[in-house]
Amino acid sequence: MKYIAYCRKSREEQDKQILSIEAQIAELQDFAKRENLEISEFITEAKTAKVPGREQFAQVLKKIEKGLAGGIVAWHPDRLARNSIDGGKIIYLLDTGKLRDLKFPSFWFENTPQGKFMLSIAFGQSKYYVDNLSENVKRGIRQKIRNGVWPSKAPLGYFNEPRTRTIEVHSGKAKLVKRAYQLFAEGGKTFVQISKFLAKSAITKRSGKPLGIDQVRHLLSNKFYVGILKLNDEYFEASHKLFISKDLFARVQKELKLRDRHKSRKYQFAFMGLMKCGECGATVTAEIHNKYYKTTDRSAEYIYYRCTKKLGPCKQKYIPEPELEKQVREKIESVSLPQSVGKQWLIWARKDEKLDRKSVVENILKLKQNIQDNDEKLNKLLDGYLEGVIEPEIYKQKKNEIFETKIEIQQDLAQIEEKGSAWLEPFREFVESALQAQKIARAKNTNEELAFFAKTVGSNFFLMNRQLSASFKTGFPELERARPALATAAASCGDSFLVDLYKKIRTSFQNS
């Protein structure tokens, strides 16, 4: 009787104590000589047997069914099958007599009811090994993520530390990721521009091409950067060090939502979505008018902004885009800060930071108590879930809500412990935006960039009688009122004026 020798090794078994295919062939050749077996051919395969679908194994069975061989030789039954379907096929061929014998150097088999029973046990053990291994891997992943460690490849800005099996900050790339967040939050950069910015520092695809839009979007929306791990729609608290602030992340998410609202429009009007009508509160829309000039035989395109009048009658008239652009620039420039003043304020902020660190104990204790309260809520919620009082979906939803609140408190706590007070980081970002405002307003930026930056310094923009108004964000209203004196502050008003203005704006951030 002829035998087909089948040798298999999974790719994932490369580092395990499993005989290589070459070693299996050598062992089977020696075994065939000892047992006087006639091997018609060797068929080898490097593929897992956890699931059906092995091409070479299927060829072995076809040859057996055609009568080209009557038996199979393999190192062990687990080389033939680790799943119930392939194991069942072997048993069925033995039952029908098409497969008359099986030979294994490391396993006894006879084609008898007892032999087939022992073979089915061997196949069952092989399947149990695979299932148990998979369950152990999943259990390890769940435990790792419970400990706050991401079980996969670290996102950009971090790296996997093999010695401690943790995820650590990559100092160089972390600065680039943070800068990408800042550029996008300022509103002056598109996904493509962010991709090109990263590409200049050799952060690209494996092919060397700049990152795709989807990759940039994922980078800018990944909650990993604010200490939240998400697995199977469930949130977990991360243990890795953070370099993106909660406020910066929130600004980026707000900007992402804004881009999504405008993405489906046929025409990209720069100031669409920036303002509402000051008379009726309806949305301000835009339209294109084409005008033909007979004298010069040319056509010109003009963009106008007007109230949609969807909320009722409205008397407001349209405004040409150039006039609106001029007013947006004026609004941005009205909250700009001279370079010398901004640098001085940052120096004072660093001094205040040192003083604040001496008086944060009370705030720290309060925040730690809030964290403890949230932990108690989570424990009570878990008890209700385990007792069957709370449905799984409600449990998951409520857990995520409490968990996000806890993460926010922990971030505030970390910020206070590290920087002295929660107002310092927003204040620094305010100063940096105010320093940039003058450059944005005067440079030859596109209207899209102007609109994006306008949302950085203000909100609630309204158009009334062709005049643009805005509610500026924290710190900027004081800056706008003091703008006339700021230009000559060092010469005429002296340091006392700058100190008073600095303290006033600092207080507004402390109270916000």
Cα gap 52→300, rounded to integer Å? 67
Give percent of the chain with pLDDT exceeding 70.
90
Q: Is the pLDDT of residue 493 over 60?
A: no
Instruction: Tell me the residue type at 40.
Output: S
- Rounded-to-integer distance, Cα 32 and Cα 94, Å: 21
Under CATH, domain 158-263 is a member of which superfamily?
A: Putative Large Serine Recombinase; Chain B, Domain 2 (3.90.1750.20)
pLDDT higher at 359 or 226: 226
- CATH number for the region 2-144 comes to 3.40.50.1390
Nearest to 446 by CA among 135, 187, 168, 75: 187
Least confident of 197-201, 233-237, 298-302, 391-395: 233-237
138 pLDDT more than 90: no
- Give me the mean pLDDT over the 241-269 stretch: 77
Domains 2-144 and 158-263 agree in fold: no
- Closest alpha carbon to 493 in 335, 336, 338: 338
510 vs 218, more confident: 218
Residue 17: pLDDT band with limits 50, 70, 90: very low
| pLDDT exceeds cutoff 60 at 60 | yes
Q: pLDDT category, 491, cuts 50, 70, 90?
A: very low
Q: Tell me: the pLDDT tens digits for 284-311?
A: 999 988 888 778 778 888 999 999 999 9
pLDDT of residue 2 exceeding 60, the answer is yes
Which tokens go with 423?
Answer: 């107002």
Question: pLDDT tens across 65-122, in order?
Answer: 999 999 999 999 989 998 989 999 999 999 999 999 999 998 989 899 998 999 998 8
Angstrom distances, CA of residue 439 to CA of 179, 222, 341, 443, 449: 18, 31, 15, 6, 12
What local confidence, expressed as pLDDT, does residue 264 receive? 47
Q: Which of 8-12, 30-34, 218-222, 244-248 has the lowest mean pLDDT?
A: 8-12
CA distance 368 to 362: 10
Residue 411 has pLDDT above 80, yes or no: no
In this model, does residue 353 exceed pLDDT 50? yes
Helix axes 213-221, 191-199, angle to 10 degrees: 90
Higher pLDDT, 186 or 114: 114
Given this model, what pLDDT does residue 415 score?
A: 64
β-strand pairing of 38-45 with 234-237: unpaired
pLDDT of residue 186: 77
For the cut 90, the answer to whether the pLDDT of residue 4 exceeds it is: yes
User: Tens of pLDDT along 194-210?
Assistant: 998 899 888 999 888 99
pLDDT of the residue at 36: 93
Rounded mean pLDDT of 393-401?
84
Which residue, 434, 435, 425, 446, is CA-closest to 189? 446
Tokens representing residue 220 in the block: 């800018």
**Full-model pTM:** 0.45
Return the residue matching tokens 């039954």. 77
Average pLDDT over residues 47-76: 92
Domain segments of the chain: what residues?
2-144, 158-263, 275-337+429-511
pLDDT score for 94: 94
Compute φ and ψ for 111, nearest 5 degrees. Answer: -80, 70
Q: Give the range among 141-145, 454-458, 496-500 with minimum mean pLDDT.
A: 141-145
Q: Where are the beta strands (DSSP E) in 387-466?
A: 458-464
Q: CA distances (Å), 499 to each of 121, 336, 427, 476, in order?
A: 84, 17, 15, 16
The encoded tokens of residue 170 equal 């990559």
467-472 and 458-464 as β-strands: parallel, antiparallel, unpaired?
antiparallel
Average pLDDT over residues 139-151: 76
Cα 189 from Cα 211, distance rounded (Å) = 15
Question: To the nearest whole percent, how much of the chain has pLDDT over 90?
Answer: 32
